[in-house]
């Protein structure tokens, strides 16, 4: 059963078409990684699907209960502690105050935040800890769909791997589906069930490739071999590291 359907979705900005004819379906418990050249509109598409930007054309159908989004930047409230930032979605969802503390601590633990970090303000946290706080905030209200907008770029390699493992576990154990935007094909091959490649200029999805076995069951050697084969032998991935000059014009 699909939980997100994008049909002929398009978007224009200041009279310029930046996305057109986007068709994409994500099933329950499935992680789809979206890759493509810098500037092709991957993040814009995620923001449209999440309801942060209006599409200029097409249809978006959702069948999940609650979604969350993790951005490239943490986007924390600077005047609030990490604990208060994490709890904010619970306040919006009108979760009773008496239940919030335990939910915040559970989400913080999943994101590998230490208890002593929860009463610090964002300025007192490292960049990695701020991003972990944002991840905990996304998890705290129990979403069944998460939009990931290149969320791990600020993390060091070891922590990035732990956060990737968290994405994999959430999909496998909690059934949390997701759309994962990334420029890193190895990251996509490690965490996704399927990889979709966007057109260089945002004109649709060029194609999709399923990954062998389930995320979490793939060895590092298998991931590396898949990526090397994709980059050297699969024409679908020939241009994913190009740069769309619209992004720097």
Give per-residue pLDDT as tens, 183-203: 999 999 999 999 999 999 999
87, HSE (Cβ side, Cα atoms, 13 Å)? 20
Residues 105 and 154 both lie in one domain: no
Has residue 168 been placed in a domain?
yes
Q: Are 163 and 144 in contact (CB under 8 A)?
A: no
State the burial class of residue 96 (Cβ atoms within 10 Å of its Cβ: 0-12, 13-18, 19+): exposed
Residues 57 and 111 both lie in one domain: no
| Token duo for residue 5 | 């359907």
Euclidean distance between the first and the last CA atom of the chain, given in angstroms as a whole number: 41
| Band of residue 14 on the pLDDT scale cut at 50, 70, 90 | confident
Structurally, the chain folds into a number of domains equal to 2
Residue numbers of the domain that contains 105:
79-142
Mean pLDDT along residues 159-165: 88
Give per-residue pLDDT as tens, 59-116: 999 999 999 999 988 999 999 999 999 999 999 999 999 999 999 999 999 888 999 9
Q: Pick left, alpha or beta for residue 21 (phi over 0 → left; psi -120 to 50 → alpha; otherwise beta).
A: left
Has residue 20 been placed in a domain?
yes
Percent of the chain with pLDDT strictly greater than 70: 97
Has residue 40 been placed in a domain?
yes
């Amino acid at each position: 059963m699909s939980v997100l359907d994008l049909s002929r979705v398009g978007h224009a900005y200041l009279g310029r078409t930046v996305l057109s004819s986007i068709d994409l379906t994500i099933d329950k418990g499935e992680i789809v990684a979206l890759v493509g050249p810098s500037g092709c509109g991957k993040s814009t598409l995620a923001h449209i699907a999440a309801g942060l930007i209006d599409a200029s054309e097409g249809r978006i159908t959702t069948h999940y209960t609650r979604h969350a989004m993790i951005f490239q930047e943490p986007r924390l409230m600077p005047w609030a502690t990490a604990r208060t930032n994490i709890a904010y979605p619970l306040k919006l969802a009108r979760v009773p105050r008496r239940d919030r503390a335990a939910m915040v601590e559970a989400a913080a633990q999943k994101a590998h935040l230490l208890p002593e970090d929860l009463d610090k303000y964002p300025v007192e946290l490292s960049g990695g800890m701020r991003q972990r706080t944002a991840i905990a905030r996304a998890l705290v209200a129990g979403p069944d769909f998460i939009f990931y907008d290149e969320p791990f770029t600020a993390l060091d390699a070891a922590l990035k791997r732990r956060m990737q493992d968290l994405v994999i576990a959430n999909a496998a154990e909690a059934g949390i589906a997701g759309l994962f935007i990334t420029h890193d094909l190895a990251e996509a091959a490690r965490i996704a069930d399927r990889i979709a490649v966007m057109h260089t200029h945002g004109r649709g999805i060029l194609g999709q490739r399923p990954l062998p076995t389930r995320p979490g069951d793939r060895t590092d050697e298998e991931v590396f071999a898949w990526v090397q084969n994709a980059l050297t032998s699969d024409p679908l991935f020939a241009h994913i590291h190009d740069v769309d000059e619209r992004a720097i014009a």
